Amino acid sequence: MRFALGVEYDGSGFSGWQRLSPAGTHVADGSLQTALEIALSKVADARIDTVCAGRTDAGVHARCQVVHFDTDAVRDVRGWVLGTTANLPPAIAVRWCVPVADAFSARFAARSRRYRYRILNRGTRPGLARQYLSWERMPLDADAMHAAAQALRGERDFSAFRSIQCQAAHARRDLHDIVVSRHDDEVHVEVQANAFLHHMVRNIVGSLLPVGRGERPVEWIAGLLEGRDRSVAGPTAPAAGLLFLGPRYPRQWGLPPEVCGDDIPS
């Protein structure tokens, strides 16, 4: 039987989502995937492998990562949620579990992914919640950053915002929406796309910061996109500020409303 899980985690101290241990083993390796699979396997009393909606990097957090797994073990959804969470490190928790059709794939059935990047914008660094924020001491013009970011919307070649380690076959992605807004002394960048390249959100944020500081004009982002040259774009923003809000799926899969609905791109 196939199940889908909603998982939240604090990525601080983890190597990222992707399993690092050799295939066919479940050796603790500092990855989120392995920690989850070890916990699931204890509940199932058998090896469990998972597939996720979108891999996150070291230090990146998730409000609702979605994974699926197959098992012959007979457990109710409450057992999967509570039993797995009880065997996970404190920084990871299972939020929900739903039985799904065998055709469901956490990765390939997703129609979009959403991220939020939080920047503390004040003269002094954060003391509280520092693992969930990046910090910029210079005043940022969020309106200018938002205006600049609109050039990124649509299906584009995002080579200028792609890390050299990226293994994707091509750099074309469909960026559905990007919003930059101020919330007191924080600036948020929220992005939704069909999929993301390695470090794509962090590289976009790193390039929007010079615009926010007034060092670059609003039109600079459009020029970077057109030029497709990563070497002239801004630096990669720190991982701590990035939160994977979650993927979105068509309603047909019967997942919870936070990741499923009719208001998603076709």
3-state SS, residue 51:
strand
Distance between start and end Cα atoms, the chain: 28
Annotated active-site residue in 10, 49, 57, 70: 57
> Is 45 considered catalytic here?
no
| Residues 83-105 as b or e (16 or more Cβ within 10 Å = b) | bbbebbbebbbbbbbbebeeebb
CB neighbourhood size of 217 (10 A): 13
Task: Check if the beta carbon of residue 16 is closer than 8 Å to that of residue 74.
Answer: no
Rounded (10°) CA dihedral 236, 239, 240, 242: 90
Task: Check if the beta carbon of residue 6 is closer than 8 Å to that of residue 65.
Answer: yes
Which residues have a catalytic role annotated? Answer: 57
